[in-house]
Structure 1
């Protein structure tokens, strides 16, 4: 009986260690868009259009009904071999926000949308080409998602825009340890960084200025109290394992005696 009286506190101590850091969560901590109504219709009035930035890599291809006429306005790397067309050269937006375009020369495109650049080029090319077809594409559109998500990392975006929800989806959604009400978007435009926080539990996130992400945006999901506690426990995991091992060993010895 004496041994059992000693064993019980040991077992209780072990259970306490195993349960340490556990917490309860309510739906308000994890559910998105909590204030949306059934069959509610929201009209997207966000007129977001991506703008080119310094260090962007931009692909521009000019074509016309007369292929030979448009040749001087397209740069290619290497020569055509075995019927394979050489790779077209992209344009890097320099520190002044400009690209060096064939024949025309320097053109400032930083701060302009693809459609605005298309209009600008069409005007510049009017003396050389008739009804040119201008294809423009941002080649280095990436977004980085960090913090309490299931697959943090940097993701390549194929289209011209992506929403914060789509970016989080690429990262495997927030983990259960991520705060839905305090997600930060870090945006850089020509050296100026802007930090904006959004609440994913509120439908108003759909009208946020950072709902549509721009190239090189960073989305950071802050850990909740459970995540912070878990991190603290991980740092002391070795200590807990040692204590648990001692308790188990002591319990077995007492039982055998």
Structure 2
């Protein structure tokens, strides 16, 4: 192998090693809750997951009893989604929901205006049951939030809107539904955006810290937005891709210049 070929091989090797060292220094830990790795078992405090009803929520509410006719006036009529105006079979019927207005109220049949804003579904059910029990014996009231959704964005496998069918829904549930974080997701800095009292608030959560499991923001509320920030490797790769052509041209020019200089040095050395 000529001296020129050896010089070019050494230059290329040093360039590759520089890139590898740069990537290694930006490595992100992929382990969740690292502070629990040395523990065999333990107990963590639990956060409150009760959902409070807010304006624009949709509530499914049904009142029943041993005598169905006795509670008929406290229920909205059902509609057949296939053919409007028909009663339909039970499997075809769709219960009309109650939309919470800006004041936090709903108009409930047989009871009039009810203020439900700031209450949990269990509290609403208890209030309605107490009022209905004045005329109906042992009523049963079911209240369900039907438009609970969260948005997961950023470095996850499947970003998008997640429809939630339970009121006990955590950050980990949302990330699992989104396909988990990618290797480029920053696990120490998960951004949660939540609307509270008419204002947008943000909170940062650390998936490497088990204290997150006890955070008041671990359980999600309706319309929460979760953003997984890309780590430094993703940032660096993005910058590299955006300027790929420019960088390749610069590297090519540098290599060519080095080759010329090396050729001159070899020629002078041989002489």
Same fold (TM over 0.5): yes
- Max Rg structure: 2
Residue deviations 1:141-174 (CA, integer Å, cap 9, x gap): 1111111222211111111121111111111211
In the TM superposition, residue 240 of structure 1 has moved relative to its aligned partner by 4.8
Q: In 1, are the aligned partners of 2:150 and 2:225 still within 8 Å (CA)?
A: yes
Which residue of structure 2 lines up, in the alignment, with residue 161 of structure 1?
168
Stretches of structure 1 lacking an aligned partner (at least 5 in a row): 249-257
Which residue of structure 1 lines up, in the alignment, with residue 62 of structure 2?
61
Deviates more, 1:166-175 or 1:188-197: 188-197
71 and 241 in structure 1: CA distance in 2 versus 1, 3 angstrom threshold: farther
Q: In 2, are the aligned partners of 1:183 and 1:221 still within 8 Å (CA)?
A: yes
Q: Aligned pair count?
A: 248
Which residue of structure 1 lines up, in the alignment, with residue 42 of structure 2?
41
1:230-241 pair list within 5 angstroms:
230-240=237-247
1:219-238 pair list within 5 angstroms:
219-238=226-245
Which residue of structure 2 lines up, in the alignment, with residue 114 of structure 1?
121
Deviates more, 1:35-44 or 1:90-99: 35-44
Q: In 1, are the aligned partners of 2:193 and 2:226 still within 8 Å (CA)?
A: yes
1:196-211 pair list within 5 angstroms:
196-211=203-218
Which residue of structure 2 lines up, in the alignment, with residue 31 of structure 1?
31
SS in 2 for 1:131: coil
128 and 243 in structure 1: CA distance in 2 versus 1, 3 angstrom threshold: farther
In the TM superposition, residue 137 of structure 1 has moved relative to its aligned partner by 0.9
Structure 1 runs of 4+ with >4 Å offset: 5-21, 24-27, 82-85, 240-248
SS in 2 for 1:100: strand
Q: In 2, are the aligned partners of 1:114 and 1:136 still within 8 Å (CA)?
A: yes
In the TM superposition, residue 212 of structure 1 has moved relative to its aligned partner by 0.5
1:149 aligns with 2:156: yes
Q: In 2, are the aligned partners of 1:33 and 1:202 still within 8 Å (CA)?
A: yes
Stretches of structure 2 lacking an aligned partner (at least 5 in a row): 80-84, 256-271
Q: In 2, are the aligned partners of 1:179 and 1:224 still within 8 Å (CA)?
A: yes
Which residue of structure 1 lines up, in the alignment, with residue 186 of structure 2?
179
Q: In 2, are the aligned partners of 1:74 and 1:88 still within 8 Å (CA)?
A: no
In the TM superposition, residue 14 of structure 1 has moved relative to its aligned partner by 7.9
Which residue of structure 2 lines up, in the alignment, with residue 140 of structure 1?
147
In the TM superposition, residue 4 of structure 1 has moved relative to its aligned partner by 3.7
62 and 238 in structure 1: CA distance in 2 versus 1, 3 angstrom threshold: farther
Q: In 1, are the aligned partners of 2:44 and 2:214 still within 8 Å (CA)?
A: no
In the TM superposition, residue 69 of structure 1 has moved relative to its aligned partner by 1.5
Deviates more, 1:144-153 or 1:6-15: 6-15
Q: TM-score scaled to structure 1, two decimals?
A: 0.83
In angstroms, what is the RMSD of aligned CA positions?
3.0
In the TM superposition, residue 228 of structure 1 has moved relative to its aligned partner by 1.3
Q: In 1, are the aligned partners of 2:49 and 2:167 still within 8 Å (CA)?
A: no
Distance 1:89 1:203 in 2: 42
